[in-house]
């Protein structure tokens, strides 16, 4: 027998940190169920507590292992952690090799950790929006930190940076060539660089190169925060404590400079704009317009009507 | 002295295949200059001739070298080729190593080839839209083929597939592990698989694995076209002729099945939707709403007003 779930019971559950209710709310959000918006409206007062960390980098850089390491470190400090894996190569999302998943299994049974992996079908834009909403739910459920794990190779990096307070870019010594090429994009978003698997050949060379690039840039941008470059060997836990310390230092920096507030303000503005877009779209597509669209799209395809003319006709219909 | 350029002269130039005018139109499009829409409206009748090929895969797979190879092969058949590089690691976009760029220099001086690389700043969604518009311009200027080169690692792949008629997924033997993890996404979009650098160890193993995965899937999806797996050594030109042949074969298949028309119809529908969204947004943001937004966003940030309430207030204002 399926129990009836009301919006109120979900909202109450989330506010009490009930994992089952949190999981349900997340599912509604992923499915874009109408209930999701009702929940979002009601928990909104509780959102804003969690600190948001983004971990991005090329496939195979060890992002998931680092994510687990950071989560473990934060748990030692008695902080609760939500993880949103929007990376198709993440073991959290069912990817990667068995060993990784075993290493993570201790996290999955820890009641202070909540992990959710998200399907990466569809456009990145839509995914970024949903990932944010999922993070808001975790935030409202009392998580102290939310970590986004996401693959980054030049596209969508700005989305990550916009969604988070601290962005960590993870590289490995051997990423050399392809990383070089995308350095501009990475430079722009990295608050902290991590060279993972730093026990491998090439780590020092990569560090020196990154330092040089950062120094060249620092003369004209971001004078106040020079992104530190850390070395880790995440699968042996080496360097992760220092990384978590550095995240704290960055957080303090943002707070003192008023940048944390500014980041959150930009995020909110984006949220309002998205709500407006979806409302406009909902209002626009009334049955008559849908009908006209279906009736005329063939003419557009056959070049008898231009898309611009069709748009004009659609706007010509009264609401 | 700067000459005056009118929309008419640009449109005429494009229709006559004038490269300088094409380049200008593309710049207007990238800058989202109002002139770009006027041009798009006027050239619309000329769009629809070019066959669109997408080349995607992880960084370092040799996508640019393959793109050049395909372009060269098509030039032998006397076809004109436009290349849109939306890949930050592409030598066309200024990335990668010098050798690659030298290999491509012969293309850049060929009047039958038009190359444009696009900055990958900003969101993938916006980029995909602009890339389409640039392809439309090349199409209107008479290019027989437009090749999109784009990095793909699980995100944004669907955008590539939607934009193109034939999608080629390029892998290398050593991509093994990380590719495994993202195979689901790649399977979904690949019309043709290419294992590039096939003279390296592991090529045969990867081919067998891909074949097995494809067979497992083919029982329940895409019964009519089983994506072929080709092996190439692009920097020595090996296998590229066969690849171009296979693209032709896929094109014929799409035509016969009516799928080419369906793909184009979906693209047009998406275009119409985008035009509507941007029109709605433009109409919505009148000065009074902008003012209210600026005045109230701080209250939202301070949790005195929810984003949902602000949206309601904004909609409450008369147009």
Q: What pLDDT sits at residue A90? A: 58
Would you call A59 and B124 a contact, using CB atoms and an 8 Å cutoff?
no
Determine contact, residues B5/B27, Cβ cutoff 8 Å: no
Question: Number of residue pairs across A and B with CB atoms under 8 Å?
Answer: 189
Q: What pLDDT sits at residue B219? A: 54
Region A18-33: mean pLDDT is 92
Q: What pLDDT sits at residue A1? A: 44
Tokens of B299: 């209250």
Task: Looking at the complex, report in whole angstroms how far the Cα of residue B223 sits from the nearest Cα belonging to chain A.
Answer: 21
Give every CB contact of residue A274 below 8 A, 6+ residues apart in sequence. A129
Torsion angle defined by CA atoms of residues B301, A161, B147 and B160, in that order, rounded to the nearest 10 degrees: -60
Of A97, A301, A314, the CB nearest to B177: A97
Would you call B264 and A301 a contact, using CB atoms and an 8 Å cutoff?
yes
Task: Looking at the complex, report in whole angstroms how far the Cα of residue A178 sits from the nearest Cα belonging to chain B.
Answer: 6
What tens digit of pLDDT does each residue of A264-311 get? 888 888 889 888 988 999 999 999 999 999 999 889 888 888 888 999
What is the chain B residue with the closest CA to A290?
B273
Q: What pLDDT sits at residue A224? A: 78
Higher pLDDT, A144 or A129: A144
Would you call B125 and A122 a contact, using CB atoms and an 8 Å cutoff?
no
Q: What pLDDT sits at residue A202? A: 86
pLDDT class for A2, splitting at 50, 70, 90? low
Q: What pLDDT sits at residue B153? A: 47
Question: Per DSSP, what are the bridge partners of residue A167?
Answer: A54
Closest to A168 measured CA to CA, from A51, A88, A40: A51
- pLDDT beneath 50, residues of chain B: 1, 96-98, 121-124, 153-155, 177-178, 181, 220
Task: Looking at the complex, report in whole angstroms how far the Cα of residue A89 sits from the nearest Cα belonging to chain B.
Answer: 5
What is the chain B residue with the closest CA to A96?
B181
B303: left (phi over 0), alpha (psi -120 to 50) or beta: left
Q: What pLDDT sits at residue B152? A: 59
Instruction: State the helix-helix crossing angle for B124-140 and B19-30, rounded to 10 degrees.
Output: 160
Q: What pLDDT sits at residue B154? A: 45
Of A44, A151, A269, the CB nearest to B155: A151
Q: Indicate whether A164 pLDDT > 50.
A: yes
Torsions phi, psi of B80, nearest 5?
A: -90, 150
Region A98-121: mean pLDDT is 73
Q: What pLDDT sits at residue B30? A: 86
Taking chain A, what is the end-to-end CA distance rounded to the nearest angstrom? 44
Determine contact, residues A173/A202, Cβ cutoff 8 Å: yes
Tokens of B52: 């669109």
Angle at A176 between CA A170 and CA A182, to 5 degrees: 70
Q: What pLDDT sits at residue B178? A: 46
pLDDT class for A61, splitting at 50, 70, 90? confident
Tokens of A256: 């003192």
Task: Looking at the complex, report in whole angstroms how far the Cα of residue A306 sits from the nearest Cα belonging to chain B.
Answer: 7
CA distance readout (Å), B116 to A77, B24, B70: 51, 12, 16
Q: What pLDDT sits at residue B25? A: 96
Closest to A136 measured CA to CA, from A54, A25, A31: A25
Q: Indicate whether A109 pLDDT > 50.
A: yes
Determine which of A122, A129, A181 to mutate to test the interface with B (most B C-beta atoms within 10 Å): A181
Q: How far apart are CA A167 and CA B95, in angstroms?
A: 23
Task: Looking at the complex, report in whole angstroms how far the Cα of residue A100 sits from the nearest Cα belonging to chain B.
Answer: 12
Determine contact, residues A134/A143, Cβ cutoff 8 Å: no
pLDDT class for A119, splitting at 50, 70, 90? low
Q: What pLDDT sits at residue A208? A: 86
Domains recognised in chain A with CATH numbers? 1-46 (no CATH), 47-259 (3.40.50.300), 272-316 (no CATH)
Closest to A50 measured CA to CA, from A227, A251, A186, A210: A251
Q: What pLDDT sits at residue B173? A: 83
Task: Dihedral sign for Cα B83, B126, B266, B189, please.
Answer: positive
Determine contact, residues B300/B307, Cβ cutoff 8 Å: yes
Q: What pLDDT sits at residue A74? A: 97
Determine which of A153, A184, A310 to mutate to test the interface with B (most B C-beta atoms within 10 Å): A153
Would you call B125 and A123 a contact, using CB atoms and an 8 Å cutoff?
yes
Closest to A73 measured CA to CA, from A168, A214, A201, A182: A168
- Highest mean pLDDT pick, A18-27, A147-156, A216-225: A18-27
Mark B143-163 as b/e (b = at least 16 C-beta within 10 Å).
bbbbbbbbbbbbbbbbbbbbb
Taking chain B, what is the end-to-end CA distance rounded to the nearest angstrom? 44
Q: What pLDDT sits at residue B245? A: 98
Q: What pLDDT sits at residue B146? A: 97
């Amino acid at each position: 027998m399926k129990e009836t779930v009301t919006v109120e019971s979900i909202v109450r559950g989330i506010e009490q940190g009930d994992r089952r209710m949190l999981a349900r709310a997340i599912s509604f959000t992923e499915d874009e169920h109408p209930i999701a918006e009702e929940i979002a409206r009601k928990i909104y007062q509780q959102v804003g507590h969690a600190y948001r960390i983004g971990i991005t980098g090329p496939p195979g850089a060890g992002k998931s292992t680092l994510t687990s390491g950071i989560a473990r470190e934060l748990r030692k400090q008695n902080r609760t952690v939500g993880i949103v894996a929007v990376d198709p190569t993440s073991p959290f999302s069912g990817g990667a090799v068995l060993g990784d998943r075993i290493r993570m299994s201790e996290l999955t049974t820890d009641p202070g950790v909540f992990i959710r992996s998200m399907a990466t079908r569809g456009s990145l834009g839509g995914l970024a929006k949903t990932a944010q909403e999922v993070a808001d739910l975790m935030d409202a459920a009392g998580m102290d930190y939310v970590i986004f794990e996401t693959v980054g190779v030049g596209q969508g990096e700005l989305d990550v940076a916009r969604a988070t307070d601290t962005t960590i870019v993870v590289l490995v010594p051997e990423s050399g060539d392809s990383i070089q090429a995308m350095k501009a994009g990475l430079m722009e978003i990295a608050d902290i660089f991590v060279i993972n698997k730093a026990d491998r050949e090439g780590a020092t060379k990569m560090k020196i190169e990154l330092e040089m690039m950062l120094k060249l840039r620092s003369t004209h941008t971001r004078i106040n925060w020079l992104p530190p470059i850390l070395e880790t060997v995440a699968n042996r836990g080496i360097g992760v404590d220092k990384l978590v310390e550095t995240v704290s230092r960055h957080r303090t920096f943002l707070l003192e400079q008023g940048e944390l507030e500014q980041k959150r303000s930009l995020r909110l503005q984006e949220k309002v704009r998205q709500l407006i877009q979806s409302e406009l779209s909902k209002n626009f597509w009334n049955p008559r317009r849908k009908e006209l669209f279906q009736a005329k799209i063939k003419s557009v395809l056959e070049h008898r009507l231009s898309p611009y003319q069709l748009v004009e006709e659609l706007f010509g219909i009264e609401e």
